[in-house]
């Protein structure tokens, strides 16, 4: 036929029902006298077309009712305008439309392909107006058509939900589901420009890639590709009962939030989730801005490169084969960055949330850490195989580990600072707390070994160093009290405080100009407490000057208690102890085989010849001067002659007492 029309009357809406049991239905277009009449069906009520083979026509309209087209073979129709629902089925063929508009739901199902220019539903009472398209063995194509200089974009616009299921590919320009969800599922690639969905959005390509320009949804977005996922912007704003998260997976490919230029305007590749964001790629993971306003964020790929990350909860970034490069990363909760190679950043910040102080954990298996500033509300932990170098770091507890160099221009810490590296160069401060607390420190080599060198400058009121294991170190501080509980310095340590300079030189006993106190401990293992001008150590006193007061302790195996000895300097006390038969040589002699260098005196053979019993000697691991070894008469004579003797200056601040009491008094 050319055209079928019903107008309806009282009691009869005016339906059109056409059946071809073994053949086709053809609403043909006829041109006569230069006038073209399009093949059409126009029903005031509903229209039903059932054919054994094909259905072909131009326009179909149902004013108040539905439309149903069912064929074994292809359905090829230009325009539908249906009052309620629209159903089209090609059980062994394809379906091709230009435009289809209905008040109610559209259901389009083909054995092969479905091709159209635009599908639209507006919704009616009791039917939100969804669009469901299925291509069982073929593709779905919302193609763009240009006619008379006017371009019509391939589109799906549903007042309710939109579902597109294809065996091969899904391609189109715009998809909208105003009050419902959007679902696109294909075995092959999904290539769509703009998606705007009221609730949830799900896109799956089980054997291909997914490419979008922009996708916006009220609820959660779930995008899962066998290969790559490429987009310009993904946005989830959140709805009642669904915070609006974004989940992207590229099982065997990359994730790329690419920047697009249009009319001279650059739109930056971004992910903006009101809830959480999770981007997991087998390949690279790259983008510009990522926001997860109220939730967590997880990013993973062989290499991860994002310019700006802003996360309400926790942030977890993993580079499974390469490095991590981020510009600014801000999170409320804990940040964890783990890369195989280098980690590079401009700024890392945690602010803390209820139940999560906002720690910062950074680990590189084989690479280095380079960046600008770090501010952590909680603890900061670094474990880096290569070098560590950045400008600033701030945290409650800061722990940094590197098998190479560790260089921090400025560190601000509240409770604890742990530094472990081959070479250490760190400057900083303690953030004051109320009440004031000592700064706990550990300064060692990688994995608790011995660092080659350390240059540290920091200004707390007091410092307690649990472990200090460095060959050569310079330690500057304004702290009134510095305690090293477990020290190992086989080389040299220069400790400079506001008033004193303590030099522990374990390479030689030769006095050095400059320090107010010089110590020596063979083997390098020592303890030390420097409080004001008082120094308590188990090291040998080589030299002292100024107002420093030095006490040496003996922790020998024969002692049941630890005693402080108000010791003396070898340089200052030699003239006194050398009276009578004692000389410089006898004062310096020792039993452990070490070699002394003092005032030009050297030579192990010369010293060994002097090893005869005398009242001043070294016992076990004791101090350089053992007051217990002097005779009672000698002690009394020394004590009685201190005052006014030229050149005499004792290092003591008080008489000997158990060191436990002294340490308690110091604390």
More confident residue, 31 or 367: 367
Considering only residues 467 and 642, tell me which one the structure prediction assigns the higher pLDDT.
Answer: 467
* Closest listed residue to residue 248, CA positions, set 268, 270, 222: 222
**Cα–Cα distance for residue pair 445/141, rounded to 1 Å:** 63
pLDDT digits (tens, 9 = 90+) for 405-433: 999 999 999 999 999 999 999 999 999 88
Alpha-carbon distance of 285 to 287, in angstroms, equals: 7
Considering the entire predicted model, what is its pTM?
0.80
Which pLDDT does position 44 carry in this prediction?
97
Average pLDDT, the chain: 84
- What one-character DSSP code corresponds to residue 12? B
Nearest Cα neighbor of 359 from 337, 336, 330, 338 is 336
Vertex 83 angle, CA 81 and 85, to 5°: 95
- The confidence score (pLDDT) of residue 318 equals 98
pLDDT at 465 over 90: yes
**CA atoms within 13 Å, Cβ hemisphere of 615:** 16
Pick from 221, 193, 224, 192: which is nearest to 206 by CA? 224
> What was the pLDDT predicted at 296?
98
Predicted pLDDT of residue 147: 65
Render pLDDT for 157-206 as a digit per residue (tens, 0 to 9): 999 999 999 999 999 999 999 999 999 999 999 999 999 999 999 999 99
Q: How far apart are CA 332 and CA 450, in angstroms?
A: 36
Span 205-221, mean pLDDT? 97
Confidence of residue 617 (pLDDT cuts 50, 70, 90): very low
Please tell me the predicted confidence (pLDDT) of residue 552: 75
> Which has more pLDDT, 429 or 544?
429
Residue 262 or residue 356, greater confidence: 356
The answer, yes or no, to whether residue 333 has pLDDT greater than 60, is yes
Distance CA 423, CA 446 (A): 9
pLDDT at position 401 over 80: yes
Band the pLDDT of 583: cuts 50, 70, 90: very low
- Cβ 552 vs Cβ 540: under 8 Å: yes
At 34 the pLDDT is 80
Residue ranges of the alpha helices (H) in 431-549?
Answer: none
Q: What is the pLDDT of residue 40?
A: 94
Q: Give the pLDDT of residue 622.
A: 41
Task: Give the Cα separation of 2 and 37 in Å (integer).
Answer: 8
pLDDT 10s digits, 57-95: 999 999 999 999 999 999 999 999 999 999 999 999 999
What is the average pLDDT across 564-570? 43
Q: How far apart are CA 352 and CA 331, in angstroms?
A: 8
Read off the tokens for 581: 């038969």
User: What is the percent of the chain with per-residue pLDDT over 70, rounded to a whole number?
Assistant: 81
């Amino acid at each position: 036929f050319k055209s079928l029309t019903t107008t309806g009357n009282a009691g009869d809406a005016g339906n059109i029902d056409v059946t071809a049991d073994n053949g086709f239905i053809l609403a043909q277009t006829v041109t006569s006298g230069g006038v073209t009449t399009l093949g059409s069906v126009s029903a005031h009520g509903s229209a039903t077309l059932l054919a054994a083979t094909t259905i072909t026509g131009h326009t179909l309209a149902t004013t108040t009712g539905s439309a149903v087209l069912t064929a074994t073979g292809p359905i090829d129709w230009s325009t539908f305008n249906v009052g309620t629902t629209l159903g089209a089925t090609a059980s062994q063929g394809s379906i091709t439309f230009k435009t289809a508009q209905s008040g109610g739901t559209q259901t389009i199902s083909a054995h092969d392909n479905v091709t159209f220019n635009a599908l639209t539903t507006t919704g009616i009472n009791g039917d939100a107006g969804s669009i469901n398209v299925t291509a069982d063995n073929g593709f779905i194509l919302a193609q763009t058509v240009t006619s008379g200089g006017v371009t019509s974009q391939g589109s799906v616009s549903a007042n309710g939900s939109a579902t597109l299921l294809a065996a091969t590919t899904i391609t189109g320009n715009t998809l909208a589901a105003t009050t419902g969800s959007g679902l696109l599922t294909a075995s092959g690639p999904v290539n769509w420009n703009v998606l705007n969905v009221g609730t949830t959005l799900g896109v799956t390509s089980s054997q291909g890639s997914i490419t979008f320009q922009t996708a916006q949804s009220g609820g959660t977005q779930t995008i899962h590709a066998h290969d790559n996922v490429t987009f310009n912007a993904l946005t989830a704003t959140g709805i009642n009962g669904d915070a609006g998260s974004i989940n992207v997976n590229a099982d065997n490919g990359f994730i790329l939030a690419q920047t697009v230029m249009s009319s001279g305007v650059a739109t930056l590749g971004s992910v903006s989730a009101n809830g959480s964001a999770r981007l997991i790629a087998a390949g690279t993971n790259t983008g510009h801005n990522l926001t997860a306003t109220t939730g967590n964020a997880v990013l993973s790929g062989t290499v991860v490169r994002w310019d700006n990350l802003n996360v309400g909860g926790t942030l977890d970034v993993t580079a499974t084969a390469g490095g991590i490069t981020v510009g600014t990363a801000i999170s409320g909760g804990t940040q964890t960055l783990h890369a195989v190679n280098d980690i590079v950043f401009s700024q890392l910040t945690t602010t803390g949330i209820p139940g999560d102080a906002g720690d910062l954990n950074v680990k590189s298996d084989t690479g280095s850490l380079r960046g600008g500033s770090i501010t952590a509300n909680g603890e900061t932990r670094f474990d880096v195989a290569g070098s560590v170098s950045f400008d600033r770091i701030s945290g409650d507890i800061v722990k940094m580990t590197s098998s190479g160099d560790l260089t921090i221009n400025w560190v601000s810490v509240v409770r604890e600072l742990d530094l472990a590296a081959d070479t250490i160069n760190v400057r900083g401060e303690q953030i004051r707390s109320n009440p004031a607390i000592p700064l706990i420190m550990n300064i060692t080599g990688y994995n608790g070994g011995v660092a080659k060198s350390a240059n540290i400058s920091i200004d707390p009121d007091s410092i307690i160093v649990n472990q200090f294991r460095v060959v050569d170190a310079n330690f500057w501080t304004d702290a009134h009290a510095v305690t090293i509980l477990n020290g190992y310095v086989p080389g040299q340590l220069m400790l400079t405080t506001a008033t004193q300079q303590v030099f522990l030189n374990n390479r030689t006993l030769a006095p050095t100009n400059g320090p107010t106190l010089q110590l020596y401990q063979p083997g390098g293992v020592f303890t030390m407490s420097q409080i004001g001008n008082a120094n308590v150590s188990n090291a040998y006193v080589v030299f002292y000057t100024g107002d420093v007061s030095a006490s040496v302790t003996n922790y020998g195996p024969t002692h049941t208690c630890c005693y402080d000895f108000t010791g003396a300097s070898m340089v200052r006390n030699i003239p006194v102890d050398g009276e009578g038969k004692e000389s410089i040589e006898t004062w310096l002699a020792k039993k452990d085989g070490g070699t002394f260098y003092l005032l030009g005196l050297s030579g192990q053979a010369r010293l060994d010849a002097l090893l005869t019993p005398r009242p001043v000697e070294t016992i076990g691991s004791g101090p350089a001067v053992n007051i217990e070894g002097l005779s009672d008469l000698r002690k009394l004579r020394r004590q009685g002659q201190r005052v006014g003797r030229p050149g005499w200056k004792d290092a003591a601040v008080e008489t000997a007492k158990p060191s436990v009491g002294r340490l308690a008094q110091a604390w």
